[in-house]
Amino acid sequence: MAKRLGLRVGVTAGLILFAFIFLLPSLVQELPPWWSGFLPKEKVRLGLDLQGGVHLILEVEAKKAVESHLERVVEDLKHDFRKNKLRYTDIRRKGLDKIELVLMRGEDQKVLEELIKNNYPDFKMQSAGASEKELTLNLVFDAQAGNHLMKLASEQALETIRNRVDQFGVAEPDIRPQPNHRILIQLPGVKDPKRAIELIGKTALLEFKLVDEENSLEEALKGNVPPGSEVLYQSTVDPKTGRKVSVPYLLKKRAPLTGESLTDARVQLDSQFGEPYVSIAFDARGGRTFERITGENVGKRLAIVLDNNVYSAPSIRDRISGGKAQITGSFTMDEAKDLAIVLRAGALPAPVTILEERTVGPSLGKDSIEQGFQSMLIGGIIVLLLVVIYYRLSGIIADFVLLLNIPLIMAGLAAFGATLTLPGIAGIILTIGMSVDANVLIFERIREELRLGKPVRAAMEAGFDRALVTILDSNITTVIAALVLLQFGTGPVRGFAVTLTIGLVSNVITAVFVARIVFDYLYVQKRWKSISI
């Protein structure tokens, strides 16, 4: 018996040591020097409702990804038609499932069929009408390929946003996919919500486009935009007056180089004026393309366009080798940093729309913490007093065991990297109630055995042994329900389920295992003849 008791005391001491190791980072401002590198350093995470921050639900406009794909195919077809000397009068996208093209010669159909079969396997060609001079055909986009493209767009958007948030420096973000191409984002502790939202929602499609200097900008502004060109604007804000100025540019619509070739983007300061700019670097292929573009267009202007906004349009003075370029503008340091972040993380494959936006202030989170702990403290004190009044010394033992649950739960949260939320505090309070229930089952069973005339030690052992089945039954069924909530719940439901699950496991350990150690020590080792219950 003494050996068994010593083993159980050792296990209990190990649990307490476990709780201390995982809770210390949350209890002190700075870890002591002797704290080793392999020991945990993570603090208990506080949810959005406890420390404030931003809650967003975004919808990825996945259909835009299909539109962009079809537009790229249209441009590729035009290039292939020129290469294969196929004459056409029109190629255009129609909706999300087809491309309409008009051939000038019917005899080109066989060459086109071979071209589509070899280079565009997701399209099937259908006849849409013919005349003496023209043949109209539809290239129908495979529906399964379209759905796969939309799914990939949502997945890529999730990863891109996660990369941006990580580089922005948000601690413990919660970014999860939702049904219908939606993304849930929770950013606890964000001090500048507006900046974070702008950073997340920016598409960040970087394009390099040549300025169309062969046609008139004035005529284009009147509505006479030449084929293959477009009008985009450079928007700047006068730092002195705050007045927004928009400068129009007539640009070639085709972008010979995009941000897909970027490998790095960093903020640097201009050596002459000390103004921030973004230095970008291309991969080997992008560097060669950039060198070719600048070499072939010396004396012309190359516009740097981000999300259809012109940042700058400098003149090309010479061939630029080395695969590096600069994005300049009237940046603040934060704007330059955010631009570098979105360029490094990559462009979103499709625009995103903010469906739901909530900002929780840190003062509200502080009030929630105070009110939550006040309710737990008041309720806990009342329960502790009632247990002591009703069960006397046994009640004091039960209270000790009950209080041990709290550090074990918090240590469990830290160990598993779970987040403590306001509903999570409610889960802790419920766990305390169930811990009291477990002790009541044991004590009432002991009382029943004593009334039958059994000696103290026999009554105590019978009380623990026979109540164990009922305690396990009630806790296991509740754990199963909590795990279901944990698996399928979101937000507040998940926060409640996390602490409830950890708390129920802790409850069984403390009520059955730790309490039994105290009773065995008093009534087996010390051989107390009476029990205060």
Query: What are all long-range contacts of 120-126, with beta carbons under 8 Å and residues at least 24 apart?
Result: 120/73, 120/77, 123/73, 123/99
**DSSP states along 152-177:** HHHHHHHHHHHHHHHHHT-SS-EEEE
In this predicted structure, what is the pLDDT of residue 371?
A: 76
Mean pLDDT (the chain) is 85
In this predicted structure, what is the pLDDT of residue 252?
A: 92
pLDDT digits (tens, 9 = 90+) for 178-196: 889 999 888 887 878 888 8
For tokens 């995009």, the residue is: 258
CA distances from residue 340 to 19, 268, 371 in whole angstroms, order as listed: 42, 10, 41
Judge whether residue 222 has pLDDT over 60.
yes
The DSSP element (H or E) to which 267 belongs, if any, is strand 262-269
Tell me the average pLDDT across 42-63: 83
Top pLDDT among 94 and 242 is at 94
Q: Which residues pair with 53 in a beta bridge?
A: 188, 360
Going across the sheet that includes 302-306, the strands are: 244-252, 229-237, 309-312, 302-306, 206-210, 257-258
In this predicted structure, what is the pLDDT of residue 343?
A: 85
The DSSP element (H or E) to which 137 belongs, if any, is strand 135-141
In this predicted structure, what is the pLDDT of residue 295?
A: 92
The DSSP element (H or E) to which 45 belongs, if any, is strand 45-46
Tell me the average pLDDT across 155-176: 82
pLDDT digits (tens, 9 = 90+) for 466-482: 888 888 888 888 889 98
In this predicted structure, what is the pLDDT of residue 100?
A: 92
Q: Spell out the domains of the chain, with CATH numbers in brackets.
A: 2-46+363-525 (1.20.1640.10), 63-145 (3.30.70), 202-358 (3.30.1360.200)
How many other β-carbons are positioned within 10 Å of the β-carbon of residue 508? 19
In this predicted structure, what is the pLDDT of residue 238?
A: 67
Tell me the average pLDDT across 359-363: 68
In this predicted structure, what is the pLDDT of residue 69?
A: 87
Judge whether residue 341 has pLDDT over 70.
yes
Closest CA to 527 of 471, 456, 475, 462: 456
For tokens 């079809």, the residue is: 70
Closest CA to 64 of 139, 126, 156: 156
% of the chain surpassing 90 pLDDT:
16
Tell me the average pLDDT across 434-454: 88
Judge whether residue 3 has pLDDT over 80.
no
Find all residues with CB under 8 Å of 198, minimum gap 6, and list them: 338
pLDDT digits (tens, 9 = 90+) for 223-247: 899 988 999 999 877 666 767 888 9
* Whole-number Å distance between alpha carbons of 346 and 353: 18
pLDDT digits (tens, 9 = 90+) for 116-155: 888 899 999 888 777 767 888 999 999 999 999 999 889 9
Find all residues with CB under 8 Å of 377, minimum gap 6, and list them: none
* Span of 27-36, 367-376, 399-408, 502-511 with lowest mean pLDDT: 367-376
In this predicted structure, what is the pLDDT of residue 129?
A: 75
In this predicted structure, what is the pLDDT of residue 366?
A: 66
